[in-house]
Structure 1
Amino acid sequence: MDSRAEISAFLKSRRDKITPEEAGVQSYGERRVPGLRRGEVAQLAGVSAEYYTRLERGNVGGVSENVLDALARALRLDEFEQAHLRHLVRAAAAPRSRASARAVAPAVRPSVVRMVEGMPGMPAYVNNNRLDVLVTNSLGRALLTDLYADSAYGRNMARFVFLSPAARHFFVDYDRIARSAVGHFRAEAAKNPYDRQLSNLIGELSTGSETFRVLWAARDVYAFRDGSKHLRHPIVGELVLDFEVLSLPGDSGLQIAVHSAEPGSAAADALTVLASWAVTSTGTEGES
């Protein structure tokens, strides 16, 4: 990844999203850009137009935290976007020798496996920053039965979302899921610019999915934390589940995703049925 080019494209994409009216900037004459001009961003951030132009060209050597904070306010960056910009700046300033470093894939510790298996009433699994599903409990595997149905996707959630025809049926809120997955990869690529496996996966998805290519070009960023998923399961039909994603600080890139349903809800009843199906069906027991 060319971090300087990414900085340039990201800053431009953010200012393109803000109208002069939203920023409180008085506009004169015909405008050739969809959002703010560079000089208007510079004015809002309290820096010179020449300095901001250099920043937007990716020349961020020596940029201070105060300037980054001012840019964040001027461009109305949310917390994910602010973190993304800082990761890009750090990558651009890193010695080029780091490009030869190889990422080490973290292993799932036995205690984490026991934790996931110890939640039999809630679908749970562990994934890495590439969205490979590494470990899952019995109910989690049953919930993700479509993912496991075809080995071509390598138990990778992103391959399933963007390359499997079944994904648009499984995820009722497919568009939101797709945007979130691409935003996650955009953020991870900035944090791990020399992760060859990650960049290869992004390339594979870009080649194989028009949806991925379009969303990738938007340069939005996202971090999985919590929310809800509306699913259409082949066994129990439609259900809405809440989810929480817990990062494992000692295991870079690993996260535990836990799904749950409101007690007494239709979704809770569906999970009970799904748990019974998981026990009686072959190939749905234990971890992945």
Structure 2
Amino acid sequence: MTESAEMSKEGVMSFLRSRREQLSPEQVGLPSFGRRRTPGLRREELAALAGMSVEYLERLELGRDTNPSHAVLAALAEALRLSDGEKRHLAMLVMKRHSAGLFPAPRPVSDETRPTVRTLLNQLDPTPACVFGPICNVVAWNSAWETMVRPLGFLDEDSPNLIRYHFLNPMARRIFTESNWAARADEMIGLLPAARPDWGGAEEFRALIDDVNVAPDFTSRWVAYPVVDTRPCGATLSHPVIGIMNIITEVLLVGEAGQRLEMWLLVDERTAAAIKASATPRPPRRPIEGSAPG
């Protein structure tokens, strides 16, 4: 079994258990009697809802049955009240578990993005934009984005990472409102389960999890096995130079190695004018190994 297939197997097991444990009896129309030793539905309750035996569900959750039929998966998805994004994630885990040979070998986590994507970054100025990889390492950005984030201390590290910054840098708590900080945290951690089958065994992936596991807000979210759809979302930032900013982030899948292009759309005319006035057109920046971005 390939490492990717093994990761997908573990992902199916962990995902099914996490969703059962997060679903209360009341959410599925079942009575709840007294306190429960463990949170969520009992196996026998989920098995009854999905029309299968408790023994078979146990084999699935423990990884002893690794070839569930489409009908079984559809029944579980319905019983667990999975969202569309969660259904797609489960389907992808199963596909990679059984058809790993059909998927191309994953590129390195911090692989460079295509020259054409870097050109697109440059042409997006004065819209701030960056490209980040599957574990949120930022691999390229344009001058407008640098103007925005350098005063925030984000580019102080040699290899900027959105998740490390968000959970470990106190500045992140100061620039976002509490609700925006939480929404951003959920969004970023929700990208990691999709990366885990391909990059979960990579040293950079493990190092990231080890680093941010010291933050309780990360640990609680990580244990919950979040899966989110990346959609445009609004945020209010308190920028130390520009002041209050209202933005909408749009994220598009680009390049190789699970890379995404994130654009900060400035919905406030005053903010947009300030960014345009302060930005000096330069080629897109990339971290240089062994030195801090200048």
Class of the TM-score when normalised by the shorter of the 2 chains: 0.7 to 0.9
Provide the residue aligned with 1:81 in structure 2. 86
Q: Give yes or no for contact 1:162–1:211 (8 Å, CA) kept in 2.
A: yes
Provide the residue aligned with 1:287 in structure 2. 284
Please state if 1:277 is matched with 2:278.
yes
Provide the residue aligned with 1:175 in structure 2. 182
Provide the residue aligned with 2:248 in structure 1. 242
Relative to structure 1, the CA distance from residue 149 to residue 15 in structure 2 (aligned partners, 3 Å threshold; closer, same or farther) is: closer
CA deviation vs aligned residue, 1:159-213 (integer Å, no higher than 9, x gap): 211121111112222122122222222332145433332232222222x433222
How is 1:257-272 mapped onto 2 (pairs within 5 angstroms)? 257-262=262-267, 267-272=268-273
How is 1:175-214 mapped onto 2 (pairs within 5 angstroms)? 175-206=182-213, 208-214=214-220
Q: CA deviation at 1:90?
A: 4.6
State the TM-score, normalized to the length of structure 2.
0.81
Provide the residue aligned with 1:134 in structure 2. 139
Query: What is the one-letter code of the residue matched to 1:269?
Result: R
Query: Aligned residues, how many?
Result: 275
Picking from 83, 107, 128, the partner of 2:112 is: 107
Give the unaligned 5+ runs of structure 2: 1-5, 286-294
Relative to structure 1, the CA distance from residue 192 to residue 67 in structure 2 (aligned partners, 3 Å threshold; closer, same or farther) is: farther
Give the unaligned 5+ runs of structure 1: none
Query: What is the one-letter code of the residue matched to 1:272?
Result: A
* CA-based RMSD: 2.8
Please state if 1:116 is matched with 2:94.
no
CA deviation vs aligned residue, 1:95-131 (integer Å, no higher than 9, x gap): 89x9xx7743543222211211112231111111121
Q: CA deviation at 1:149?
A: 5.3
Q: CA deviation at 1:27?
A: 5.0
State the TM-score, normalized to the length of structure 1.
0.83
- Runs (4+) of structure 1 exceeding 6 A deviation are none
CA deviation vs aligned residue, 1:131-169 (integer Å, no higher than 9, x gap): 122221221111222455553362211121112111111
DSSP 3-state at the match of 2:127: coil
Relative to structure 1, the CA distance from residue 55 to residue 285 in structure 2 (aligned partners, 3 Å threshold; closer, same or farther) is: same
Relative to structure 1, the CA distance from residue 167 to residue 31 in structure 2 (aligned partners, 3 Å threshold; closer, same or farther) is: closer
Comparing 36-45 and 197-206, the one that deviates more: 197-206
Relative to structure 1, the CA distance from residue 147 to residue 12 in structure 2 (aligned partners, 3 Å threshold; closer, same or farther) is: same
Q: CA deviation at 1:47?
A: 1.5
Query: What is the one-letter code of the residue matched to 1:50?
Result: E
